[in-house]
Amino acid sequence: MIARAVVVIAWWTGLALLGGARVVWAAELTHRGQRIKATMDSRRALRRARRQRKTRYRQPRFLNRCHPEGWLPPSLTSRVSHVMTWVGRLRRSCPITALSQELVRFDTALMQNPEITAVEYQRGELAGYEVRAYMLEKWQRTCAYCQATGVPLEVEHIVPTARGGSHRVSNLTLACTACNQKKGSRTATEFGHPEVQAQARIPLKDAAAVNSTRWALYRQLCTTGLPVECGTGGRTKYNRTRQHLPKTHWTDATCVGANTPEKLCVAGIQPLGIRAMGHGTRQMCRTDRHGFPVQHRARQKRYWSMQTGDLVKAVVPSGKYQGTWISRVVVKASGWFDLVIRGKKASVHWKHCTRLWAADGYTYTLSVPAGTVVSSPR
């Protein structure tokens, strides 16, 4: 059995489990991402305020700290850790023999020197996909002429081929359909955009230097002792298009790397939606919006062997919320727990609650989370 993990540098990671050519299990993991940054920012603001409150003058520290080699910001570290958590969980529940990871967006070796080689027509279909991935990165997914984003983009020749323009990447740019048609057989300079011509000559600086998060994950995956196969984003898309699969993170995950079977069987797969929620907060003192303390947190996290985030079944014998309910719980020292009943917050006594599932830092859904189908021509 081969487990494939693909890291998408966005809010999601696709995970899939393959037995031969058959997809056995798939999931889409939503990371905490910016929420980590937001809490770190708030912590920094509170600490800064505390340091400056009625204290003697202290010279500000400036550029006197450095990060160790390979340091990643906490929001990115958490992405790596979440993927490793799930790789570990999958390894405990089934005999995984190999891992695949999408390591880079495009393969520079396959493209040779992308800025000087006419790859698109010389090196076959796969190289074309690598070029597209490279172009999208280089032009940051925008139309070079009208800066439109989120629209279908076409690879466009700055000097048209009919007028002697080459297929080299340095002669290619991205344009929306409208701009491409308006430009017609003119060059970019004649079209009134000499800056596009100039920009196209500058190679993408870090074509070979790939995303640090993906490398950090790769090093982590290697520590499992399993063989790790690395794929590129270009190849993922090439494989997925050949299989006629829609663009989602879990379908991407099934198509990573050269070991992808010729014919994938994805029938009946309903991806598990996993959302990373964290394990609560370490903040001991809640403050108002000016940073003044208003409330101290209790040291105790569990009440009647339940804690916030657990999935509970509540059997309420009488009253407004009479009936049987299943919900996530917010525990209270008073014994009156908060549940979501009929879409609204409701107070239910702990005596009526039984824990079904202990909070493990994730919430789960079986439907595909909204916004996973990416329509951009990546």
Binding site for Zn ion (CB under 5 A): 143, 145-146, 148, 176, 179
Please identify, using beta-carbon distances, which residue of 146 and 198 lies nearer to Zn ion. 146
Q: How far is the CB of 343 from Zn ion (least distance, A)?
A: 43
Q: How far apart are the first and last CA of the chain?
A: 29
Residue with tokens 């002697």: 164
Q: How far is the CB of 141 from Zn ion (least distance, A)?
A: 12
Nearest Cα neighbor of 278 from 86, 85, 78, 83 is: 78
When computed from its CA atoms, the radius of gyration of the chain, rounded to whole angstroms, is 26
Nearest Cα neighbor of 204 from 140, 248, 289, 271 is: 140
DSSP tag of 93: H
Q: How far is the CB of 166 from Zn ion (least distance, A)?
A: 22
Nearest Cα neighbor of 350 from 297, 303, 310 is: 303
Q: How far is the CB of 188 from Zn ion (least distance, A)?
A: 12
Q: How far is the CB of 129 from Zn ion (least distance, A)?
A: 23
- Integer Cα distance of 172 and 111 in angstroms: 14
Please identify, using beta-carbon distances, which residue of 177 and 212 lies nearer to Zn ion. 177
Please identify, using beta-carbon distances, which residue of 146 and 222 lies nearer to Zn ion. 146
Please identify, using beta-carbon distances, which residue of 18 and 143 lies nearer to Zn ion. 143
Residue with tokens 């993408």: 204
Give the CA distances from residue 306 to residues 79, 310, 311, 356, 357, in Å, rounded to whole numbers and listed in that order.
Answer: 28, 7, 9, 10, 10
Please identify, using beta-carbon distances, which residue of 119 and 158 lies nearer to Zn ion. 158
Please identify, using beta-carbon distances, which residue of 178 and 294 lies nearer to Zn ion. 178
Q: How far is CA 151 from the centre of its chain?
A: 21
SS3 (DSSP) at 209:
coil
Please identify, using beta-carbon distances, which residue of 21 and 146 lies nearer to Zn ion. 146
Q: How far is the CB of 143 from Zn ion (least distance, A)?
A: 3
Axis crossing angle, helix 233-242 with helix 124-138, rounded to the nearest 10: 130
- Integer Cα distance of 264 and 281 in angstroms: 42
Instruction: With beta carbons less than 8 A apart as the criterion, state whether 6 and 28 touch.
Output: no
Q: How far is the CB of 151 from Zn ion (least distance, A)?
A: 7
